Amino acid sequence: MAQVALITVHGMGETPPNYADELMASVRTRLGTVAEQAVMRSVYYQKILQDNQQLVWDRTRSQSTVRYDDLRKFVLYGFGDAAGLENRKEIPGSVYELAQGEIARALMSAHAVRPGMPVVFLAQSLGCQVLSSYIYDAQKAAAGKPVGAGIWRNIDAWAQQAYGRALTASERGFIGAGTCAGMITTGCNIPIFVAAHKEMHIIPIAPPTSLFKWINYYDPDDALGWPLQPLSGGYRALVEDRAINANAGVLSMVLKSWNPLSHNLYWQDDTVLDAIAAMLRRLAA
C-alpha cells in the first residue's frame, strides 16, 4: 500500500498548538491497519498572531468594563486573525508570508518521509482562505507569473532563509501542492474574502492533480461557514458542497448544532471524520 499525507490547517480564534491531535487520533482509529500508511502533519500559524491579541485582551479586561467575554474574545481573535493576515500582506515578513511559511514547513516535513506521496488537506474556517491563497500563489509561481505577496513571491529566498539551501525540484513541486489529491474544507470563510469582487474575478485554484477532489462541508446554522459553488462557475465545477448538521454527540446537538456555535464542531462530527478516512484510504490503496 502507498503512503498518503494528511495536512491540517486550523481556523480563526484562540488555538492551541495541539489543536489537531484529537482529530488525527479519531481518523487513525477509522483507518485501522491503513493508519500505518498515513503521515499526518498540522500547520500552526496562530502563534504569529496570538501573543499580540492576548495583550490587547488583557489590557481591555484590566482597564475597561466589557460584557460577553467569550463572544467578545472570539470576535477579537477571530476577526483579528482575518484582518492581520490580509493587512499589508505584500511587505516582507508579513503575517500572510509567515503563515504560508508554516504550510511549506509542514509539507517539507511530510516530503522527508516519502517524496511524491499524495497529499490531502483538511482546513477549517479561516484556514480555508489561508490554504487556498497558498496554493493559488504556488500555482502562479509554477506558471512563471508574478506573485505579489507571500513566500511564492521568491521561493528561493524563502528556502535559503528557512533551510540555508535551495529546494530540490522534488521539494519545490511537493510544497507547491503538486501532489495534492484531495481537500476537505469545513466552516469555510472564502466567500467573505471574495464576495466584493465581480464574478469573473472569483477564480479558484486549479486542480493540482487528476485525482483531485474538493469536498466542502458547511452547516446551514453556521454563519461563518459557507457553500462555495454559488461563488462562480469555476467553484461550481471544482467543489462539491455538502450541508450537514455539525455536532459532536448528543450534548452538543442539543446545545450547539442548531446555532452559530456549530462552527467549532466540524472536526468532531462523524460525517466529516468518515469522509477524511475514506479519502485517505482511497489514496493509500
Say whether pLDDT at 121 is over 90: yes
Measured on CA atoms in the order 90, 8, 203, 134, is the torsion positive or negative?
Answer: positive
pLDDT of residue 78: 66
User: Which of 88-92, 143-147, 169-173 is the least confident region?
Assistant: 88-92
**What's the pTM?**
0.90
pLDDT for position 139: 98
Please report, rounded to a whole number, the percentage of residues in the chain having pLDDT higher than 90.
Answer: 67
The DSSP symbol for 197 reads: S
Looking at residue 248, what is its pLDDT? 54
The pLDDT, as a whole number, for residue 201 is 79
DSSP 91: S
pLDDT beyond 70 at 107: yes
Task: Please state, for a pLDDT cut of 70, what percent of the chain lies above it.
Answer: 89
The confidence score (pLDDT) of residue 254 equals 36
Return the CATH superfamily for domain 4-284.
Alpha/Beta hydrolase fold, catalytic domain (3.40.50.1820)
pLDDT band at 27; cut points 50, 70, 90:
very high
- SS3 state at 275: helix
Side-chain half-sphere CA neighbours of 226 within 13 A? 16
Compute, in degrees rounded to 10, the torsion defined by CA atoms 176, 178, 180, 183. 50
Domain positions in the chain: 4-284
Identify the weakest region by mean pLDDT among 55-59, 185-189, 264-268, 273-277: 55-59
Helix (H, G, I), strand (E, B) or coil at 78: helix
Query: Of 7-11, 92-96, 163-167, which range is least confident?
Result: 92-96
- What is the pLDDT of the chain when averaged over all its residues? 89
Q: Burial code of 209-225, b = ≥16 C-beta within 10 A, e = fewer?
A: eeebbbbbbbbebbebb
Instruction: Name which residue leads in pLDDT, 104 or 196.
Output: 104
Separation between Cα atoms, residue 207 and residue 144, nearest integer Å = 17
> What would the pLDDT profile of 258-269 be if each residue is shown by its tens digit?
344 678 899 999
Which pLDDT does position 249 carry in this prediction?
47
Between 95-113 and 126-142, two packed helices, what is the crossing angle to 10 degrees? 80
In the prediction, which pLDDT does 76 show?
72
pLDDT at 67: 77
Whether the pLDDT of residue 149 is over 90: the answer is yes
What are 218-266's pLDDT values in tens digits? 998 888 899 999 999 999 999 999 999 886 543 444 334 434 467 889 9
Q: Which amino acid is at 204?
A: P
- Over 90: is that where the pLDDT of 136 sits? yes
Name residue 150's amino acid: G
pLDDT at residue 198 greater than cutoff 80:
no
DSSP assignment of 130-188: HHHHHHHHHHHHHTT----SSGGGSHHHHHHHHHSSPPPHHHHHHHTTTTEEEEEEES-
Beta strands 38-43 and 119-124, pairing class = unpaired
DSSP-derived secondary structure letter, 55? H
**pLDDT tens digits for range 81-93:** 666 677 778 899 8
